[in-house]
């Protein structure tokens, strides 16, 4: 097909798409128009039923906690998949563990190094804050976990390669990943012991607006934060180790 016929073909189909799209947009309801009853009901009862001020997290970690459990295990499975793909091959096993060293001298300025080191603490505090205040303000375990996971990366970028290696190869990372995933399921199963349904909110709800309120919502949020932070650090660790091994193979 020549480039001219291709352009003509594209223009014809693009015109058709624009027409259909314009027709669709013309009859769209205005912004903020909501016709389902479920959302209105939940926003009215969530604060009284679950003692949480962030209704989004009340839905994520309580009313629809089972869906979120599935999502967590999608993430868990994909991290496992990456680990499985990057597992040491037989040849590497024979050679024993290679001395993995990241590049020591990253070309960065002192200004960048100092300001980034100052940022690490702030990032960790902010991540913990977001993960632990999911029941009160926007945020929650997922967002807090990702912020926590990017803190080691800032350590790496600030040139502290040894500290970075110590953080990412710590057994705590794997423990957080597995413990987080298992913890979510365990919280759900604990409800069964009390004769309630799976993932029922069994912890005392506390006072609305307090840090320790909303029952299992806060607990699940913390557990999810652990899992996400551990998972992302594991991903980074495996990718970087793979890249370093390639580099070592090249230099040999």
Partner 1 sequence: MRLLQWVILLLVAAVAPAVVLSRDPKSQVVTLSFYGLLCALMFFIFQAPDVALSQITIGAVMLPLMIMLALTKMRRQNLRREREGKK
- Residues that bind partner 1 in the complex, under the rule CB under 8 A: 31, 54, 56-57, 130, 138-140, 142-143, 146-147, 149-150, 153, 232, 235-236, 239-240, 242-243, 246-247, 249-250
Minimum Å gap between C-beta 178 and partner 1 is 20
How many angstroms separate the CA atoms of 143 and 134, rounded? Answer: 9
- For partner 1, give the closer residue by CB, 108 or 192: 108
Least gap, CB of 115 to partner 1 (angstroms):
18
**Tokens of residue 94, six digits:** 């024979």
Q: What is the DSSP string of the chain?
A: --HHHHHHHHHHHHHHHHHHHHHHHHTPPPTT----HHHHHHHHHHHHHH--S-HHHHIIIIITHHHHHHHHHHHHHHHHHHHHHTPPPHHHHHT--------S-----HHHHHHHHHHHHHHHHHHHHHHHTTTTSS--HHHHHHHHHHHHHHHHHTT-HHHHHHHHT-HHHHHHHHHHHHHHHHHHHHHHHTTS-TT---S----TTSSS-STHHHHHHHHHHHHHHHHHHHHHHHHHHHHHHHHHHHH-
Q: Which two tokens stand for residue 107?
A: 């070309």
Comparing CB distances to partner 1, the nearer of 134 and 215 is 134
Q: CB of residue 138 vs partner 1: minimum separation in angstroms?
A: 4
- How far apart are CB 152 and partner 1 at their closest, in Å? 12
> Residue 144 or residue 215: which is nearer to partner 1 going by CB?
144
Q: How far is the CB of 189 from partner 1 (least distance, A)?
A: 27
- Shortest Å, Cβ 236 to partner 1: 7
Q: Which is nearer to partner 1, 32 or 195 (CB)?
A: 32
Query: 159 vs 191, which CB is nearer to partner 1?
Result: 159
Which is closer to partner 1, CB of 67 or CB of 192? Answer: 67
């Amino acid at each position: 097909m020549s480039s001219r016929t291709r352009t003509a073909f594209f223009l014809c189909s693009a015109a058709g798409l624009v027409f259909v799209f314009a027709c669709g947009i013309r009859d769209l309801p205005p912004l903020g128009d909501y016709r389902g009853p479920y959302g209105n009901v939940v926003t009215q009862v969530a604060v009284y039923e679950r003692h949480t001020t962030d209704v989004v997290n009340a839905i994520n970690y309580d009313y629809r906690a089972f869906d979120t459990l599935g999502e967590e295990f999608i993430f868990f499975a994909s991290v496992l998949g990456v680990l499985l793909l990057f597992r040491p091959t037989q040849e590497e096993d024979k050679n024993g563990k290679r001395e993995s060293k990241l590049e020591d001298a990253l070309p960065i300025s002192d200004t960048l190094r100092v300001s980034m080191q100052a940022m690490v603490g702030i990032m960790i505090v902010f991540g913990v804050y977001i993960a632990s205040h999911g029941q009160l303000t926007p945020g929650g375990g997922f967002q807090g976990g990702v912020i926590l996971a990017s803190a080691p990366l800032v350590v790496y970028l600030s040139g502290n390669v040894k500290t970075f290696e110590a953080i990412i190869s710590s057994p705590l990372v794997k423990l957080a990943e597995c413990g987080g995933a298992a913890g979510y399921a365990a919280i759900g199963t604990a409800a069964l012991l009390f004769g309630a349904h799976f993932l029922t909110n069994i912890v005392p709800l506390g006072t609305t607006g307090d840090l320790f309120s909303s029952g299992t919502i806060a607990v699940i949020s913390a557990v999810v934060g652990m899992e996400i932070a551990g998972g992302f650090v594991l991903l980074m660790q495996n990718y970087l180790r793979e890249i370093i091994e390639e580099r070592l193979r090249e230099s040999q």
